[in-house]
Structure 1
Amino acid sequence: MIAQPSPPPKRWIPKPFPDSKEQQAAIQLLTQSLGISPFLAALLVQRGVTTYDKAREFFRPEISHLHNPFEMKDMDRAIMRLQMAMLPEREEKILIYGDYDVDGTTSVALVYGFLKNYHTKIDYYIPDRYKEGYGISRQGIEWAAENGFSLIIALDCGIKSIERVAEAKALGVDFIICDHHRPGDELPDASAVLDPKRNDCPYPYKELSGCGVGFKLLQAFCMHKGIELEQLYPCLDLVAVSIASDIVPLTGENRVLAYYGLKYLNAAPRTGLKALIKIAGFTRELDITNLVFGLGPRINAAGRIQHAKAAVQLLLAESEEEAEEFAMAINKHNNSRREFDSTITEQALAMIRESEVLTHAKSTVLYDASWHKGVIGIVASRCIEHFHRPTIILTQSNDKAAGSARSVPGFDVYEAIEECADLLEQFGGHTFAAGMTMSVNNIDAFRRKFEEVVARTIKEEHLTPLVDIDLSLNFSEINDKLVRIVKQMGPFGPHNLQPTFMTDDVYIVGEPIIMKEKHLKLNVKQGRTGHTLTAIGFGFAHVADQLQAGKPFSICYQVEQNFYNGNVSLQLMLKDLKYS
């Protein structure tokens, strides 16, 4: 076996301290107007919050901050076609079609669940991950035509389905496409194509989730029909789950949608999500992290292990008994998904470590026909935790090789895959995640070309894990008020990450404790005196032997509240530590 190289040390990237004349004036203004410390004011200025009005908007997002949906290209055409389908003299059958992941299933539950109150001839369709694959399928179109549907609203997919939309049109089936993926050079010939990433779309916010685009369609529908928007807002619980699970930026409109979605989730979640929250074991207020790691994977597991229709049925469930039944079934799927995930990850890491070429490559492309298609995206992410580089995991599906790609911060994996398009039959995705299909015979050629593209375009720093550090912080400044105000800076996610702090001259107090053979718990203080804080490092057991009493080190961390036996205390969540 080839020896695995030692993982490179993480790069600590401190953000510039806001020390220009204008920034210092803003810090002073916020300190006085908000009644906060200069440290917290500096944290806000770093994030572009420089005035009282911006601070009020940042800390208290308002529904009124949402953009007019009719600013989106083709929204008027979409509403016109939807209205036509609903005319009493036409009464067309409408099919709500969505992808099988969390974004797709929440989109379908949102749009179908709302529109069925205003139109009776409506149904929904989720493609089978294994039989039909990603996006608009020929099987789905044929099913729609055979069952008399004349309008399909496609959610979280369709932007590249040129051929399928043309085939549907020939069968008398129109499309309204609601997507958020990057379009190709040509758009489908649909009645309307809603996608803020269209080059000709003037919509001011480009980073909506697929469910977010579906929400904008319903917002426009309500405005056109004179329906009170308050009837739509409880559906934001679904939008929040999609935003968290699809890892879209938590900025602008997404932050407003997620902020209110979390409010509905915590105050009065729909029956299906309430059952899922219970089975996931959450007892306190939910945040984005809980959705990403608790609810999202369970919803996703339905389509990964069996069929994603079960996820939509859960999200639409009205009785508690029905919801609990679906939640239990989905939880079992999630347990199976974890077993597949763990086994395949071990196999994938072994393949890398046993190959001199793969160990030292700039990218990872692995194939095994037996791997479960439902977890290859997760396995790609797991591989990046060990080998920090763009990764594609492939398996066999319908006599083709189907793959999921994941990237590292700073590198656009979609563009790299696009350079290999001549070897692919289908691909789509985002900067950091993508999917593709190719002939099994093309795998070796694709691996070589993808490695060549990555090696030529990736920067060396992208191959090293990094920690973005907001500010240096003294332990003496860590108190309940700081944690309370930092918490109000959420919801946290991409482009609005939870603040990470750095402290030097840290000493260990007592002996470190290793938990579950993986994690580290230690007591620390800054300097030779001062109060002691507890620090937790998930996956940090390997550094326990490095810690030496009386020897100072530096740490970067986030400050959180720890709830235990009814008591609340402050603790540090370690991101990294190093000796000088």
Structure 2
Amino acid sequence: MRWTLKPKPPQDKIDILTNTLGVAPIIASLLIQRGIETFEEAKEFFRPSLDGLHDPYLMKDMDLAVARIEKAIAADENILVYGDYDVDGTTSVALLSSYLLSYYPNVATYIPDRYDEGYGVSNQGIDFALDNDFTLIIALDCGVKAIDKVAYASEKGVDFIICDHHRPGPELPKAVAVLDPKRSDCEYPFKELCGCGVGFKLIQALAKQRKQNINDLLLYLDLVATAIGADIVPITGENRILAHFGLKVINSNPRAGFQAILSQIKKTQLTITDVVFIIAPRINAAGRMKHGNHAVTLLTETDVEKAKEYASEIEQFNTDRREADKRITEEALLQISEKGEENRMTTVVYNKNWHKGVIGIVASRLTETYYRPTLVFTKSGEKLAASARSVKGFDVYNALEGCSEHIEQFGGHKYAAGLTLLEADYEKFKKAFEKEVAETIDKNLLQREISIDTEIDLQQITPKFYRILKQFAPFGPGNMTPVFMTQNLKDVGYGKCVGEDKSHLRVVVQQGNSTQFTGIGFGMGDKHDIACKGEPFKAAYVIDENEWQGTVNLQLRLKDIKP
């Protein structure tokens, strides 16, 4: 691993903020690294306020979207709320449909089938709207590239409102309204909303028309916070406010569906990390293994007992997903080694029998193993479908654009994308993708990096220091959990490999005569000799709490150690 130490902010800035806030210089330094240099900025950071949310009408086409929905309600039209089968899509559909249903009955939901219809707006979805007399479709977390589909709907007399956050192509669909902060002509101040975040801005605008205020919408923020965490958008600006208050709802007054999930895993006081690793995979499992409708049903159910039935079904989907994920990852790793492809710049693997619902997770696993841009293909109807994942700093979406002559369709983000192509083009695409990445990637990006905020001594780690550090949450892109480095550590003699397969490292460390701290390094059993032979070493780590038999202690969660 490459260790990179962030530059220390100028001392005069640290001194000013230290005095202004009455905090330790190390805290001031961490804040300045996050762009916080004044009392007001610190207040916004530590005390997120709903007053910091932008006016939804600053978003291009918002007035047109609201006017069309109001017209539909006045004319007693049927409204179809349409969204993708992942967490962002299903939470968006649950959010908007439940808000509209709170005052208008003619609303239904539609989630495309991952296998029959694939990603985004589908002709089957539009045909469903036609067959069931829907004249307005509101598409969430998809649609910004659905030019042909929106045109098809328009010919049939069905209007579209699109709420998306993906990068638009050179042309926008001819919808009634296209809400997307990434539109080049949209001056909305915050560009990094997730799909559910854009959906929330729409209900915020509708609520304004109905003389409701932001407090009337708080109960929907648990969905928004879940989508923010799952979709890996920056937890800065408006996303930070939405995630902060959404977590409060999850922890104090969760909807029945969340209560049902949490009752199975016996967890209280969730962080955004818990949302990402506990709630999100279960919601996702429905669309991966069965159908995204199951997730929407769970998220909109108000009866806790019924929600528990749905949650136990979804728990089974999640178990099935884990088994499929494990098996396919093993098969993919075997394919790479059998073909002698361990030393390429990219990983591209294909098996027609792999479960389409888990290829994204497998792509992430392979990226963890080989640390390079990765694509996992499977057969989908007559075509091949793939999930793409990237490494930090490399834009896989741009790389796919560079190979677009071999691709039927693609979409996504910098670090995660999806595509389809003809089977006959697979080998040509595989060569082109390897060539494109080899020519454009900075080779340093192929070595995993640990970005260290600052170097500290163990004596600086106190309960008070950690209490302030905890207030930096919610953590995520743009505001990652601070990573520290400490030199001249020695294990005091208790270091050992732990876990069933002894793959984890547990040490008790001291720096000079400092307080002793337990350090745990998951998957770091191979570093035993560096830490446990009595020689000094340095560690990169985050600080967290460990609860054991009712006692809570601070510990170091090791990310890497070096002699």
Report the TM-score, using the length of structure 2 for normalisation: 0.98
Q: In the aligned structure 2, how far is the partner of 1:241 from the partner of 1:250?
A: 12
Residue 65 of structure 1 aligns to which amino acid in structure 2? Answer: G
Q: Equivalent of 1:213, from 177, 198, 217?
A: 198
Query: Could you report, residue by residue, the CA deviation over 1:131-186 in whole angstroms, capped at 9, with x for unpaired residues?
Result: 11000011110010110000000000001111111111111100000000011111
Q: Equivalent of 2:32, from 33, 36, 45?
A: 45
Q: In the aligned structure 2, how far is the partner of 1:165 from the partner of 1:574?
A: 50
SS of 2:547 mapped into structure 1: strand
**Corresponding residue for 1:568?**
552
Q: CA deviation at 1:34?
A: 2.4
Q: Is the 8 A contact 2:391 2:415 kept in 1?
A: yes
Residue 547 of structure 1 aligns to which amino acid in structure 2? Answer: A
SS of 1:554 mapped into structure 2: strand
Query: Could you report, residue by residue, the CA deviation over 1:474-518 in whole angstroms, capped at 9, with x for unpaired residues?
Result: 001111111111110110001100000000111112132322222
Q: In the aligned structure 2, how far is the partner of 1:530 from the partner of 1:223?
A: 57
Q: Equivalent of 1:149, from 108, 111, 134?
A: 134
**Corresponding residue for 1:544?**
528
1:475 aligns with 2:458: yes
Q: Is the 8 A contact 1:280 1:295 kept in 2?
A: no
SS of 2:492 mapped into structure 1: strand
Q: In the aligned structure 1, how far is the partner of 2:559 from the partner of 2:337?
A: 25
**Corresponding residue for 2:479?**
496
Q: CA deviation at 1:382?
A: 0.4
**Corresponding residue for 1:7?**
none
Q: Is the 8 A contact 1:556 1:577 kept in 2?
A: yes
Residue 441 of structure 1 aligns to which amino acid in structure 2? Answer: A
Q: In the aligned structure 1, how far is the partner of 2:37 from the partner of 2:147?
A: 46
Over aligned residue pairs, what C-alpha RMSD do you find? 1.0
With 486-495 and 227-236 compared, the bigger mean Cα shift is at: 227-236
Q: Equivalent of 2:300, from 308, 316, 321?
A: 316
Residue 376 of structure 1 aligns to which amino acid in structure 2? Answer: I
Listed as ranges, the gaps of 5+ residues in structure 2 are none
Residue 426 of structure 1 aligns to which amino acid in structure 2? Answer: Q
**Corresponding residue for 2:356?**
373
Equivalences for 1:442-461 in 2 at 5 Å? 442-461=425-444
Query: Could you report, residue by residue, the CA deviation over 1:37-73 in whole angstroms, capped at 9, with x for unpaired residues?
Result: 1111111111111111111111001001011111111
**Corresponding residue for 1:3?**
none
1:266 aligns with 2:247: no
Q: Is the 8 A contact 1:61 1:259 kept in 2?
A: yes
Q: CA deviation at 1:365?
A: 0.8
**Corresponding residue for 2:280?**
296
Q: CA deviation at 1:188?
A: 0.5
Q: Is the 8 A contact 2:530 2:537 kept in 1?
A: no
1:531 aligns with 2:515: yes
Equivalences for 1:432-447 in 2 at 5 Å? 432-447=415-430
Q: Equivalent of 2:151, from 166, 185, 188?
A: 166
Equivalences for 1:90-489 in 2 at 5 Å? 90-283=75-268, 285-356=269-340, 358-489=341-472
With 29-38 and 207-216 compared, the bigger mean Cα shift is at: 29-38
Q: In the aligned structure 2, how far is the partner of 1:349 from the partner of 1:399?
A: 25
Q: CA deviation at 1:458?
A: 0.2
Q: CA deviation at 1:441?
A: 1.1
With 542-551 and 149-158 compared, the bigger mean Cα shift is at: 542-551
Q: In the aligned structure 1, how far is the partner of 2:265 from the partner of 2:125?
A: 33
Q: In the aligned structure 2, how far is the partner of 1:269 from the partner of 1:213?
A: 21
With 299-308 and 224-233 compared, the bigger mean Cα shift is at: 224-233
With 271-280 and 398-407 compared, the bigger mean Cα shift is at: 271-280
Q: Is the 8 A contact 1:26 1:51 kept in 2?
A: no
Residue 299 of structure 2 aligns to which amino acid in structure 1? Answer: L
**Corresponding residue for 1:60?**
47
Q: Is the 8 A contact 1:515 1:521 kept in 2?
A: no
The percent of aligned pairs where both chains have the same amino acid is 51
SS of 2:137 mapped into structure 1: strand
Count of aligned positions: 561
Q: CA deviation at 1:354?
A: 2.5
Q: CA deviation at 1:280?
A: 2.9
Query: Could you report, residue by residue, the CA deviation over 1:108-132 in whole angstroms, capped at 9, with x for unpaired residues?
Result: 0000011111211110000100111
SS of 1:315 mapped into structure 2: helix
Q: In the aligned structure 2, how far is the partner of 1:157 from the partner of 1:216?
A: 16
Q: In the aligned structure 2, how far is the partner of 1:418 from the partner of 1:326?
A: 40
1:78 aligns with 2:65: yes
Q: In the aligned structure 2, how far is the partner of 1:148 from the partner of 1:429?
A: 31
**Corresponding residue for 1:32?**
19
Q: In the aligned structure 2, how far is the partner of 1:548 from the partner of 1:263?
A: 42
Q: CA deviation at 1:549?
A: 2.8
Q: Is the 8 A contact 1:363 1:390 kept in 2?
A: yes
Q: In the aligned structure 2, how far is the partner of 1:216 from the partner of 1:577?
A: 45
Query: Could you report, residue by residue, the CA deviation over 1:307-358 in whole angstroms, capped at 9, with x for unpaired residues?
Result: 11010110011111111001111011101100011111111112222233x2
Residue 336 of structure 1 aligns to which amino acid in structure 2? Answer: D
Residue 552 of structure 1 aligns to which amino acid in structure 2? Answer: P
Listed as ranges, the gaps of 5+ residues in structure 1 are 1-9
Q: In the aligned structure 1, how far is the partner of 2:70 from the partner of 2:309?
A: 36
Q: Is the 8 A contact 2:507 2:531 kept in 1?
A: no
SS of 2:562 mapped into structure 1: strand
Q: Is the 8 A contact 1:476 1:530 kept in 2?
A: yes
1:14 aligns with 2:1: no
Q: Is the 8 A contact 2:83 2:112 kept in 1?
A: yes
Q: In the aligned structure 2, how far is the partner of 1:411 from the partner of 1:373?
A: 25
Query: Could you report, residue by residue, the CA deviation over 1:365-397 in whole angstroms, capped at 9, with x for unpaired residues?
Result: 110001010110000110011101000000001
SS of 2:414 mapped into structure 1: coil
**Corresponding residue for 1:6?**
none
Q: In the aligned structure 2, how far is the partner of 1:154 from the partner of 1:47?
A: 35
Q: Is the 8 A contact 2:384 2:422 kept in 1?
A: yes
Query: Could you report, residue by residue, the CA deviation over 1:413-442 in whole angstroms, capped at 9, with x for unpaired residues?
Result: 000001111111111000000000111111
Q: In the aligned structure 2, how far is the partner of 1:277 from the partner of 1:421?
A: 43
Q: Is the 8 A contact 1:509 1:549 kept in 2?
A: no
Q: In the aligned structure 2, how far is the partner of 1:564 from the partner of 1:95?
A: 50
Q: Is the 8 A contact 1:236 1:260 kept in 2?
A: yes
Q: In the aligned structure 1, how far is the partner of 2:96 from the partner of 2:318?
A: 25
SS of 1:203 mapped into structure 2: coil
With 510-519 and 380-389 compared, the bigger mean Cα shift is at: 510-519
Q: CA deviation at 1:232?
A: 1.1
SS of 2:367 mapped into structure 1: helix
Q: In the aligned structure 1, how far is the partner of 2:364 from the partner of 2:44?
A: 35
Q: CA deviation at 1:229?
A: 2.6
